[in-house]
Amino acid sequence: MWISLGQLLALGLLPGHELLGGAAGLDTPLRAVLPGTSAREVGDLGRGTLVVFEPGRLDAADPGTDLAIRFGHRAGIAGVVLQRPPTPVPPATQRLSDKLGVPVILLDRVDTAAVIAALDPHVQRPEVAGARQLNEVANRLRTARGHPDDLVRVLAATLKCPVALVDGEGRVVGGDAATGEALTSLEQLRHRPTPFHLDTTERQRLLLQPLVLTPDGPANLWLVARLPAGSPLTDSTRNALGIAAWAFTAYLATEALTAERASSQRALLLTEILEHADAPPRRTVERATAAGWRLSGWHTAVHIASIQPTGRAHPHDLPQRIEQALAHHGIHANLVERPEGWAFWHTSDTEPDPADGPALTRTIRRALLAEERGERRLCAGIGQPYIGTVGLKTSLHEAQQACVLARTQDVAGAVEHIDAMSVKRLLAGWYGSRPLREAATGLLEPLTTADPSGELVRTLGCYLDHESSATTTAIVLGVHRNTVLHRLERIKALLDVDLSRPDERLATHLATQVARLSDD
């Protein structure tokens, strides 16, 4: 078990020190701290020795310092401690220190006995340094600003090692990029939300700490620290990451609570506006003004929904992530929670050009695709532009209808725009009809009874979506064509419909679309 000079300096054991040069040697294992008598005597000391020169023994500005560095390099010492001279140290001395990797530490005043007393206990018992490191981490995190970037910087500076913040897919979202890129076992990030370590081929050890709000919660973020293999501070660094995780989760919990409170207030305000769209009360108008919402002008609304696997909730920060994705594509949005999703709207002084619709559709789709993860799909609907608060209410309703249409599409990032006169407007009304939903359930009941998994209904819907092509259906579903043909035979035997008749085919197709909405 050993400790390095760099780690001891990070603990603040030599207040006011200056590293003149030789940073590359700060990770050399430190074995002893001894007083120095002369430059030549340095060559007789053992490997890993830190040599402390008191005033009068060696002046940092004298040529003897260069000699001590050369002898020290040959002997493999850990560094030299000198008193800062009244005159500048020659640049050549600094360059030599850097070239040979021998650290030269300058102090305002060198008391040899005091320096040895401060460092030697940690050299002889590295666990003492570990305890001090934990104390330092706790104190610095307590006074640090709560933002994750600041916490990562404080952690890396205190631990004196690279630290990164990565997500569950191994992507670096903060801190040292090289540390995150050293990750090779992503499966453990996905399925093991407990602290663990990985050893790299470069003789380094990665310590990983999940950031979870509850013991059984998902680990969407991880702290990763990179240490030399065999570092004596491995255990204390691991414990320090655990302490840092508390600070991170406290920040995340606070952010979640703040966002939830703000989201609830925005949702209530929008509800008030829509309930009194003809003439919003003065207090409502004042609150809208404070929120930065324009009530006059032409409003174009967008409704966004998240389609999750059954029984799985969307991440609590998903609205913020969608906002960031939209902002990255040039759309400033403050999402307001609505039934079955979130909404936002863009307001302009004049009526938007109809040609703006397709461009907006493409931009929103790119933003949604950038934020889709795994089995979670995002879809959106866009309403027509209308003027005033009554127009906002109408556009929001249309956007929600368009989003219903988008949900029926089995594609990533589906976005639908309801034009003033289009078949989509008619379909949106049908899909929202209770009688149609009941009729669809009854029509497909033989399939859902025979196959509770829903494979037969999905196969039928995909088959009708792709113009009755069994080959295309097989490709989309990722199964063999013969499997599709076998399922179609079962479907025809179970359903009392004739798909060759246009009216029955249309009714069946609509029923599968409604069933897809119900599954989502």
pLDDT in tens, the chain (520 residues): 678 888 788 777 888 999 999 999 998 889 999 999 999 999 899 999 999 999 889 999 999 999 999 999 999 999 999 999 999 999 999 999 999 999 999 999 999 999 999 888 888 877 666 677 777 777 777 766 667 788 888 888 888 788 988 887 778 888 888 887 777 666 656 566 788 878 877 778 888 888 887 766 677 788 889 887 767 677 778 888 888 888 887 777 777 777 778 888 889 999 999 999 999 998 898 888 888 898 999 999 999 999 876 656 677 778 888 999 999 999 999 899 998 899 999 999 899 988 888 899 999 999 999 888 766 789 999 999 999 999 999 999 989 888 888 887 777 888 988 864 455 555 555 555 566 667 677 778 888 888 888 888 888 888 888 888 888 888 888 889 899 889 888 888 888 788 888 877 877 887 777 776 655 5
List pLDDT tens digits, range 6-52. 878 877 788 899 999 999 999 888 999 999 999 999 989 999 999 99
The C-alpha angle 207, 208, 214, rounded to 5 degrees, equals 145
Look at residues 379, 396, 431 and tell me which one is the last residue of a structural domain: 431
Residue 270 lies inside a defined structural domain of this protein: no
Residue 261 lies inside a defined structural domain of this protein: no
Residue 87 lies inside a defined structural domain of this protein: yes
The CATH number assigned to the domain holding 412 equals 3.30.70.270
The CATH number assigned to the domain holding 479 equals 1.10.10.2840
76 and 151 co-located in one domain: no
21 and 117 co-located in one domain: yes
Residue 68 lies inside a defined structural domain of this protein: yes
Q: Report how many domains make up the chain.
A: 4
421 and 300 co-located in one domain: yes
362 and 476 co-located in one domain: no
pTM score:
0.47
User: What single string gives the DSSP state of each residue in 106-129?
Assistant: EESS--HHHHHHHHHHHHH-HHHH
Residue 352 lies inside a defined structural domain of this protein: yes
- Rounded CA-CA distance 211/195 in Å is 10
The CATH number assigned to the domain holding 59 equals 3.40.1390.20
Alpha carbon 351 to its chain centroid, in Å, reads 38
Domain interval for residue 119 = 3-124
Which three-class secondary structure state does DSSP give residue 501? coil
Look at residues 250, 277, 311 and tell me which one is the last residue of a structural domain: 250
User: What single string gives the DSSP state of each residue in 253-285?
Assistant: HHHHHHHHHHHHHHHHHHHHHHHTTTS--HHHH
438 and 426 co-located in one domain: no
476 and 515 co-located in one domain: yes
496 and 389 co-located in one domain: no
Segments of 321-382 assigned E as strands: 336-338, 341-348, 377-382
The CATH number assigned to the domain holding 151 equals 3.30.450.40
351 and 427 co-located in one domain: yes
371 and 310 co-located in one domain: yes
Residue 256 lies inside a defined structural domain of this protein: no
Residue 99 lies inside a defined structural domain of this protein: yes
421 and 447 co-located in one domain: no
116 and 156 co-located in one domain: no
307 and 234 co-located in one domain: no
Tokens of 377: 């799909």
Residue 257 lies inside a defined structural domain of this protein: no
Give phi and psi for 344, each to the nearest 5.
Answer: -150, 170
Look at residues 379, 413, 431 and tell me which one is the last residue of a structural domain: 431
